[in-house]
């Protein structure tokens, strides 16, 4: 019997199967599941392994029982974007967009089970999934603009498709915690359950999907995504270059320092 490629050991994620359902969980709790380079690579790799698996009907993505993820590992990311040339840096920062795209392209239905905080790049990843189930105390947040950079990872079109233009602007520009009830009201979440119940609820959703005929399910997912994201690439293909510009601004340096020093930043537009 040929070994299943999913039956391997990853460093920062755990993968298990239960029949037609695959579960992928972030497993770096000592760092609040921050998305390091290794984590991004492993999440992308497992998404590629799952992409066209005809024996997988649903994929659940989860974090720790008390939190999903604190987002991109800032120290690790800043080290990686100091590549020798701008061209090499531009290539390095595609790791996040590539990961989100890989998860969006999984043909099986994907469900993010979120407890506690889901911030920045982790929020971008969750938004690339088909459904999001939040524990009652969970929240989503994109803090990038408030730190002096644009929200990249081709996330803005996904937010806009789910929440509409006005709410997308509020969510991205203000970068505030958006609690589970508000996420549900805005279309960023599909169900809110009692704390600790997100994974259980996701399993119930996955079981419903697995009981359906797989061909029309996959066709419907593909059709809806094609319709909702028809212009997404045109709207976001430059967001990594926008990041290259904003990450070299004085405002970004000020935003980062103010965040670390827990003070109010003073932005000057340069």
- Give the confidence band of 54 by pLDDT, cuts at 50, 70, 90: very high
- How much is the average pLDDT of 222-235? 96
21-26 and 13-18 strand pairing: antiparallel
Residue 166, pLDDT above cutoff 80: yes
Residue 79, pLDDT above cutoff 80: no
**H or E element, residue 68:** none
- In a 10 Å sphere around its CB, with 0-12 CB exposed, 13-18 middle and 19+ buried, how is residue 152 labelled? buried
- How much is the average pLDDT of 104-114? 99
Q: Measured over all CA atoms, what is the biggest interatomic distance in the chain, rounded to whole angstroms?
A: 63
pLDDT in tens, 175-197: 999 999 999 999 999 999 999 99
- Give the confidence band of 265 by pLDDT, cuts at 50, 70, 90: very high
- Give the confidence band of 1 by pLDDT, cuts at 50, 70, 90: low
DSSP alpha helix (H) spans, the chain: 37-50, 74-80, 86-92, 95-104, 121-127, 156-163, 165-169, 180-186, 198-210, 214-228, 232-236, 239-246, 250-261
């Amino acid at each position: 019997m040929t070994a299943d490629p999913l039956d391997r050991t990853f460093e920062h994620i755990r993968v298990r199967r239960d029949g037609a359902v695959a579960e992928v969980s972030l497993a770096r709790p000592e760092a609040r599941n921050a998305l390091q380079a290794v984590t991004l690579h492993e999440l992308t790799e497992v998404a590629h392994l799952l992409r066209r698996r005809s024996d997988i009907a649903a994929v659940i993505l989860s974090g720790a029982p008390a939190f999903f993820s604190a987002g991109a590992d800032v120290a690790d990311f800043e080290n990686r974007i100091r590549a020798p040339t701008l061209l090499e840096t531009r290539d390095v920062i595609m790791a996040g967009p590539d990961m989100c795209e890989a998860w969006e392209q999984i043909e099986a239905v994907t469900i993010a089970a979120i407890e506690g905080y889901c911030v920045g790049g982790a929020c971008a990843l969750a938004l690339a999934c088909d459904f999001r189930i939040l524990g009652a105390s969970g929240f989503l947040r994109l803090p990038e603009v408030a730190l002096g950079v644009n929200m990249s990872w081709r996330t803005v079109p996904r937010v806009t498709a789910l929440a509409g233009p006005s709410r997308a602007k509020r969510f991205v520009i203000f970068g505030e915690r958006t609690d589970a009830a508000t996420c549900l009201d805005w279309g960023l979440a599909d169900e809110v359950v009692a704390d600790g119940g997100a994974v259980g609820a996701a399993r119930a959703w996955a079981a419903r999907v697995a009981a359906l005929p797989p061909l029309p399910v996959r066709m419907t997912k593909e059709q809806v995504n094609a319709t909702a994201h028809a212009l997404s690439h045109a709207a976001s293909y430059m967001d990594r270059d926008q990041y290259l510009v904003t990450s070299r601004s004085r405002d970004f340096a000020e935003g980062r320092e103010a965040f670390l020093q827990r003070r109010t930043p003073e932005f000057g537009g340069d």
